[in-house]
Chains A and B, each alone.
Chain A
Amino acid sequence: MALFTQSFVITLFLGAIAAGIPLLLAGLGEQLSEKAGVMNIGLEGMMLFGAYTGFLAAWASGSPSLGFIAGAGGGVVVASLMALLCVRLGLNQIVTGIALTLAAEGLTALLHFVQFSRTYPRLDGVAPLPIWPLSEIPFVGPVLFNNNAVFYLAIVLVVVFSWIYRQTHLGAALLAAGDKPAALDAAGVDVMRTRAMAVLITGALAGLGGAYMSIAVAGVFVPFMSHGNGFIAIVLAMLARGRPLWVLGGALLFGGSLSLTTALQVAGIDVPTDVIQMLPFAMVMVVLLVAGRKAALPQALGESFVRGAR
């Protein structure tokens, strides 16, 4: 098996992580917002806008860290519109999500055209933060413990979210906001505030994921660069049935199939890109066929909450 050389396997794993981290961040966000009862179809737009604002800030300031913060901020800007329209005003969540995605696509493409279409600036990438001495372990070290800060943050978030959902009042409130908002209201917790908060955090995570794509992975901003990742993240969140750890597993699996093209090219095998691009989507359909029946969703998902209405 000449295929499984060390360089092929390391390329595959590093690629899986690079492509998986944005999915993981956005998927964790979507999971949070779905738990609270908001179906966030605008995720794609939040990622794309975060990719743009993150790239812009990193390029203007020369600091990737500032870029990541700006990316999360960009996601929050789109999410605050979502929170206003869907949570506060009770407009249809799916249509609003599509509108925000379209707006982000059009707006970032316009801004990119005005600012960068002649120069196409590139970023240098992000310096890794090796965790010594773990980073010295052969094979595992370079893949897992020699990454950038966003990678570690994403992993920590998986643990934090699991803890919040299982152990805290906040977790219980989020679940209630999605399953039985009237009960949460009766318990004296503000449903709208709970949901709005969930949507804003989702925006920050999705924006950070987008910024990771433009700053850490691609090094450039290209219009429409989120390329369906937001939608894949929505699927991940649905399949994970409320478990953050499952989002992590799914994100790496998807990241792996996305990075298979590059890895195969490293191994000297030429497979058409389009065939490889079909892999993750085909995989979702297979998983849905096999396990879809169990994909439980919160009861009040997609419904706006009107206090006192029956």
Chain B
Amino acid sequence: MTDEQAIAQPAQQSHGRATRDSSANASLRVLAVSIGPLIAALVVGAILLLAMGFNPVSYYSYVVQRAIFSPSGLEATLTRMGPLLLIAASLIVAFRAGIWNLGGDGQYLLAAVFVAATVPLTMNVLPVWANLLLGLLIGAVVGAIWGILPAILKAWQGINEIITTLMMSFLGVSLANVLVKLAFLDPATTTPQTRTLPVEARLPRLFDTATSSGLLIGLFAVIAVHLIMTRTSFGMRLRLVGANPRAAVHAGLSVPTLTVAVFAISAALAGLSGAVDILGTHGNVRADWNPAYTLTVVPLVFLARLNGFGSIAYVFLFSALTIGGESAARRIGVPSFFSLVIVAILLITLGLAEYLDKRHQERVRR
């Protein structure tokens, strides 16, 4: 697994080749490799829709219409992007450092539960802005705490973090449910849920729209992470650890310390995502609620080749697909799981496209 962790192999060599191709040919190729898989995935999705007896054209146009071209839909799409972008930032830090933090769901949900349990109580003593800051802080800290055990096991015992983060994730999701049902119940309602943060005490809305300012936090986090990983010496050290831990030791880096640092940042960002979702959108946590963002965002950041800006584009696409899909589920009757299928197919078609492109390059070279 290399530094860039592209789905197939990194594209550096292919860029070098591209300059030698005729330029028209090269831009055509780049277009084919980036847009082709998307079109292929939508076509496969259309065939699935047809097989289920739905009209693909009306489904797709309805989704686009609802999620992008209607004001309320676009606001929902942009609001949903906030927590998703924070998850993307969390994954980019970890993956670029060669660490597979797949436990974001537990980190997210536990943070969300602790935030939802605290802020409705502290809002009576703190001003709104301080209360929101406290919520964000709690989210980040709870997330980071839930990432500590896998970090220590990885750093000093060399235990595979895929397994430990996944286990902590299942554990965290169950624990969050236990906490909501047994410890943090809202005494005022009969439904099992935490107390609710009133709308006027939530994250401010952007301008005159219904878009939550959580979007800005998400955008800021992704861009900051991207710049830190690509432009600073700290990021350079992390990428070195990811690319070749043995070389990193020889270069005098303290690999265990850096590993723990990566886990702390990554898990804190996942926790922050939970905080932003509660403070900006939901206001409380209901029992058995788990949006399970992490495993769906993993393919997105890989499609973007762990590039922050690319991730923003893919997160927007996915956000629109789910918001439109949820609306289509109510109206047309296509279940919202369909957007999951599209993302999975997209990942597979993109991998295939990269492979075909690489093979084509090799043939040209010979």
A residues contacting B by CB (< 8 A) are 39, 41, 81, 85, 89-92, 94-96, 98-103, 105-107, 109-110, 113-114, 223, 228, 231, 234-235, 238, 272, 274-275, 277-278, 281-282, 284-285, 288-289, 292-293, 295, 297, 302-303
Contact = CB atoms under 8 A, between A and B. Distances in A.
B160 A238 contact: yes
Interface stretch (B130-138, B259-267, B342-350): B342-350
A295 B153 CA distance: 12
B140 to A, nearest CB: 23
B174 interface: yes
B166 interface: yes
B157 A293 contact: yes
A109 B337 contact: yes
B341 interface: yes
Interface stretch (B30-38, B116-124, B175-183, B194-202): B175-183
B317 interface: no
Given A95-B302, A106-B344, A285 B164 contact: yes
B171 A281 contact: yes
Interface string B222-234: 0000000000000
Interface of B: 1, 5, 7-9, 48, 52-53, 100, 149, 153, 157-160, 162-164, 166-168, 170-171, 174-175, 177-178, 181-182, 295-296, 298-299, 302, 335, 337-341, 343-345, 347-348, 351-352, 355
B134 to A, nearest CB: 27
A307 to B, nearest CB: 13
B338 to A, nearest CB: 6
Contacts of B181: 272, 274
B171 A85 contact: no
B310 to A, nearest CB: 15
A221 B52 CA distance: 19
Nearest to A287: B167
Contacts of B171: 278, 281-282, 285
A211 B340 CA distance: 23
Q: 5 smallest A-B Cβ distances: which pairs?
A: A106-B340, A103-B344, A106-B341, A109-B337, A99-B347
A101 B335 CA distance: 18
Contacts of A278: 171, 174-175, 178
B337 A223 contact: yes
A293 B157 CA distance: 6
A99 B178 contact: no
Given A110-B335, A275-B178, A292-B153, A105 B340 contact: yes
25 contacts: A85-B352, A90-B355, A92-B7, A94-B100, A95-B347, A96-B348, A99-B299, A102-B340, A106-B344, A109-B340, A110-B335, A113-B335, A228-B170, A231-B166, A238-B163, A274-B178, A278-B174, A278-B175, A281-B170, A282-B171, A284-B167, A285-B164, A288-B163, A292-B153, A292-B159
